[in-house]
């Protein structure tokens, strides 16, 4: 076992992690240095695939205001968004976007060189900035990766999985154990500040827009460390993923296509959204998702269709070059043909409970980006608010650490030593077909803890997850990255399912067929690990 120490460790190299590393390096005093860890290649993340854009309530957009953005976010959030958080993030969007421009992010502009804004569902005005047409995430991520890679004060570990947070007897986080998936070696890293920026959980579901790394690792790490978790039952399903299976996920057909006028239709070309909501295609995401799902069930089909033929061909090519290219690969010409689409797991509103500076309930442990639950999104995220939250919270965690004492811990207590020892034991591993186990878990989650839930299906799902656990013999140390991921997926799948059982109402993306009404009295749900068991707290 190798040992090292740093002033701060950032885990995850999506937009939240990359930007946090850059801002911390700019501002904080780092006597023991800064380390950025990622389990894949630098920048490989959900962030890279973000299409539609990033909310920017910019001073120069005279049609917009923070009041309007706050109101839209609160409405979409189904009564669970925190007003102070929403306000803070909205009011800071102008500042962080200007900062991103300084870091070399090139948002799309019109012929006059002005930034252009598009419309997405449940936004009252055009306020979504985009880059590379429909490649917003990739453009931001590449600009930040360039800065991180050329910054000699940021050390980078790639292909390195964070496998356990080190918590001392005082319940403070003092470091992390990591596993190099290439060399198969472990390393203990001590640091006074550990920042989880590990992204979402989409891979827990059979159909998802998320790439293979979205296995909920940070959720499992924080939960196992004893952190307070929030609203774990809230999974967002996007209404329009292309209904063809790629290797690891389904390709997203951005909401911005509906923002430009595309309509949802059935196999006969008949529009149906007017039967579900007066805002039709631009209703909040949970409503459009359930409408599509309902139409599919009613007509016994695997998809509905998106009719984008009303958008001029040249506009399609300019605004949606990647979506149009992907459709062509499947023989679909967006300007002439209907696009087969279906809902897919997309985003996790639940997560590690944090404040705006990323502080969790554990001293020394921070969480930012999709792994966190700041209270911005509530029960249903407004489109393009995620990238904004990633950037504002990364900015704020750096701001917080500016004044923190960041010397690596000098003494390690017995609780941590005992934990580290478990990784030095040699074990006789028998091989496991993790891919098969992962697929089984994804089926269970899609069928039992999916878009529509009720007590019976959730309980059956839990039973199946318990049976699946018994096929996986690892409890601590694993042999590969994929095994660690599966271990985390199991933990998070149970957490989501139990939390979904516990919330006896329908609200936002959590839709219970046996409790259709919203209970006006209900609030956030909080979950912690207590004496090894899941504990729901008020
Ligand atoms: P991620 O970008 O997911 O990065 C997580 C990082 O953590 C990765 O580098 C991963 O390798 C690393 N990691 C995970 N576990 C470990 C571990 N155990 N050890 C080490 N490293 C680890 N949002 C918007 O606002 N606008 C959009 O237009 C938009 N479009 C989207 C389109 C798609 C197809 C998808 C999937 C999402 C979209 N979203 C969008 C959501 C948004 O992209 C994500 O919520 C956001 O990018 C999350 O960023 P993040 O930095 O928190 O996590
Ligand atoms: C999309 O482009 O539809 C995704 C936007 C988002 O998830 O915020």
Give the CA angle between residues 42, 383, 359 to the nearest 5°: 60
Residues 240-261 have a mean pLDDT of: 93
What's CA 183's distance to the chain center, in Å? 28
Strand partners, 2: 187
Query: Is the confidence at residue 247, as pLDDT, over 80?
Result: no
Q: Whose atoms come closest to the Cα of 257: which ligand?
A: 2
CA distance 179 to 217: 13
Query: Is the confidence at residue 280, as pLDDT, over 90?
Result: yes
Residue 394's alpha-carbon distances to 85, 124, 232, 234, in angstroms, are 14, 27, 22, 23
| Pocket-testing residue among 202, 256, 326, ligand 2, by greatest number of atoms within 8 A of Cβ | 256
Query: Is the confidence at residue 274, as pLDDT, over 80?
Result: yes
Considering only CA atoms, which residue is closest to atom 39 of ligand 1? 50
For the CA of 372, the closest atom of ligand 1 is 52
Considering only CA atoms, which residue is closest to atom 1 of ligand 2? 254
Q: pLDDT digits over 28-50, tens only?
A: 999 999 999 999 999 899 999 99
Cβ 254 under 6 angstroms from ligand 2: yes
Query: Is the confidence at residue 538, as pLDDT, over 70?
Result: no
pLDDT of res. 97: 97
For the CA of 387, the closest atom of ligand 2 is 8
CA distance 80 to 486: 30
Q: pLDDT digits over 50-66, tens only?
A: 999 999 999 999 999 99
Residue with tokens 């679909």: 332
Q: What amino acid positions are annotated as catalytic residues?
A: 285
Q: Which of 126, 81, 14 is nearest to 369 (CA)?
A: 14
CB 468 within 8 A of CB 416: no
Residues 428-456 have a mean pLDDT of: 95
Strand partners, 178: 162, 187
Strand partners, 155: 35
CB 64 within 8 A of CB 125: yes
User: How many CB atoms neighbour CB 199 within 10 A?
Assistant: 30
Residues 494-515 have a mean pLDDT of: 97
Cβ 384 under 6 angstroms from ligand 2: yes
pLDDT of res. 530: 87
CA of 136 relative to ligand 2 center, distance in Å: 10
Q: Are strands 304-307 and 263-265 parallel, antiparallel or unpaired?
A: antiparallel
CA of 260 relative to ligand 1 center, distance in Å: 25
Query: Is the confidence at residue 512, as pLDDT, over 70?
Result: yes
Q: pLDDT digits over 336-384, tens only?
A: 999 999 999 999 999 999 999 999 999 999 999 999 999 999 999 999 9
Q: Whose atoms come closest to the Cα of 42: which ligand?
A: 1
CA of 395 relative to ligand 1 center, distance in Å: 17
Q: Which of 105, 86, 109, 90 is nearest to 47 (CA)?
A: 105
Q: Whose atoms come closest to the Cα of 394: which ligand?
A: 1
On the CB side of 464, how many CA atoms lie within 13 Å of its CA? Answer: 21
Give the CA angle between residues 74, 121, 368 to the nearest 5°: 55
Both tokens of 293, joined, read 């799902």
Q: Are strands 8-11 and 193-196 parallel, antiparallel or unpaired?
A: parallel
Segment (H or E) for 178: strand 173-180
Share of the chain above pLDDT 70, in %: 100
Residue with tokens 């997926």: 489
CA distance 27 to 401: 8
Q: Whose atoms come closest to the Cα of 253: which ligand?
A: 2
CA of 34 relative to ligand 2 center, distance in Å: 32
Cβ 52 under 6 angstroms from ligand 2: yes
CA distance 316 to 386: 25
Q: pLDDT digits over 186-199, tens only?
A: 999 999 999 999 99
User: How many CB atoms neighbour CB 435 within 10 A?
Assistant: 10
Tell me if residue 335 falls in helix, strand or coil.
coil
Cβ 118 under 6 angstroms from ligand 2: no
CB 239 within 8 A of CB 383: no
Q: pLDDT digits over 96-137, tens only?
A: 999 999 999 999 999 999 999 999 989 999 999 999 999 999
Of the listed ranges 18-27, 316-325, 423-432, 507-516, the least confidently predicted one is 423-432
CA of 252 relative to ligand 1 center, distance in Å: 14
Cβ < 6 A, ligand 1 pocket: 11-17, 37-40, 44-47, 49-54, 136-137, 161-162, 197-200, 209-210, 213-214, 217-218, 252, 347, 369-370, 384-387, 390
Cβ 240 under 6 angstroms from ligand 2: no
Q: Which of 369, 310, 31, 360 is nearest to 194 (CA)?
A: 360
Q: State whether the Cα torsion 239-243-249-252 is positive or negative.
A: negative
Confidence of residue 427 (pLDDT cuts 50, 70, 90): confident
CA of 43 relative to ligand 2 center, distance in Å: 19
In the β-sheet with 54-55, what is the strand arrangement from edge to edge? 54-55, 128-129, 117-118
CB 104 within 8 A of CB 92: no
Residues found in the chain: 538
Enumerate domains of the chain plus CATH numbers: 238-345 (3.90.700.10), 427-517 (1.20.58.100)
Cβ 51 under 6 angstroms from ligand 2: yes
Residue 407's alpha-carbon distances to 8, 197, 398, 411, in angstroms, are 9, 21, 16, 12
CA of 25 relative to ligand 2 center, distance in Å: 30
| Pocket-testing residue among 140, 255, 388, ligand 2, by greatest number of atoms within 8 A of Cβ | 255
CA of 45 relative to ligand 1 center, distance in Å: 5
pLDDT of res. 300: 97
For the CA of 136, the closest atom of ligand 2 is 2
pLDDT of res. 94: 97
DSSP per residue, 106-117 = ---B-TTS-B-E
């Amino acid at each position: 076992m190798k040992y090292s120490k740093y002033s701060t460790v950032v885990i995850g190299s999506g937009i939240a992690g990359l930007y946090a590393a850059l801002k911390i390096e700019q501002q904080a005093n780092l006597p023991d240095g800064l380390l950025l860890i990622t389990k894949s290649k630098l920048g490989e993340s959900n962030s890279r695939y973000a299409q539609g854009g990033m909310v920017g309530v910019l001073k120069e957009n005279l049609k917009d205001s923070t009041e309007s953005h706050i109101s839209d976010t609160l409405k979409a959030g189904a009564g669970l968004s925190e007003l102070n958080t929403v306000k803070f993030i909205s009011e800071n969007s102008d500042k962080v976007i200007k900062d991103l421009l300084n870091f070399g992010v090139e948002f799309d502009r019109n012929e006059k060189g002005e930034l252009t804004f598009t419309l997405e569902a449940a936004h009252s005005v055009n306020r979504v900035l985009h880059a590379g047409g429909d490649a917003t995430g990739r453009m931001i991520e590449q600009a930040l990766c360039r800065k991180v890679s050329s910054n000699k004060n940021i050390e980078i570990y790639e292909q390195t999985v964070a496998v356990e947070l080190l918590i001392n007897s005082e319940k403070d986080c003092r470091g992390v154990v990591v596993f190099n998936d290439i060399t198969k070696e472990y390393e203990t890293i001590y640091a006074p500040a550990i920042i989880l920026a590990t992204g979402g959980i989409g891979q827990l579901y059979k159909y998802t827009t998320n790439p293979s790394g979205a296995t909920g690792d940070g959720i499992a790490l924080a939960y196992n460390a004893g952190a307070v978790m929030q609203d774990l039952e809230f999974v967002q399903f996007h209404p329009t993923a292309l209904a063809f299976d790629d290797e690891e996920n389904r390709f997203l057909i951005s909401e911005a296509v509906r923002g430009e006028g595309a309509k949802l239709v059935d196999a006969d070309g008949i529009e149906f959204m007017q039967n579900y909501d007066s805002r039709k295609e631009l209703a909040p995401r949970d409503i459009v998702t359930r409408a599509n799902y309902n139409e599919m069930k009613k007509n016994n089909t695997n998809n509905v269709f998106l009719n984008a033929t009303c958008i001029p061909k040249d506009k399609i090519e300019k605004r949606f070059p990647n979506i149009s290219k992907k459709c062509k690969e499947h023989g679909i010409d967006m300007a002439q043909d209907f696009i087969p689409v279906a809902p897919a797991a997309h985003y996790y509103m639940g997560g590690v409970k944090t404040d705006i500076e990323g502080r969790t309930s554990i001293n020394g442990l921070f969480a930012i980006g999709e792994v966190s639950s700041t209270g911005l999104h509530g029960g249903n995220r407004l489109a393009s608010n995620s990238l904004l939250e990633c950037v504002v919270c990364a900015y704020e965690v750096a701001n917080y650490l500016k004044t923190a004492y960041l010397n690596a811990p000098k003494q390690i207590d017995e609780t941590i030593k005992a934990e580290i020892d478990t990784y030095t034991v040699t074990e006789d591993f028998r091989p496991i077909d993790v891919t098969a186990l992962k697929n089984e878990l994804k089926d269970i989650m899609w069928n039992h803890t999916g878009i529509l839930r009720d007590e019976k299906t959730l309980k059956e799902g839990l039973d199946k997850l318990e049976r699946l656990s018994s096929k996986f013999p690892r409890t601590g140390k694993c042999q590969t990255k994929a095994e660690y991921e599966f271990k985390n997926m199991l933990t998070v799948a149970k957490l989501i399912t139990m939390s979904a059982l516990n919330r006896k109402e329908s609200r936002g993306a959590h839709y219970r067929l046996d409790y259709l009404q919203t209970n006006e009295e209900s609030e956030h749900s909080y979950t912690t690990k207590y004496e090894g068991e899941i504990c729901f707290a008020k």
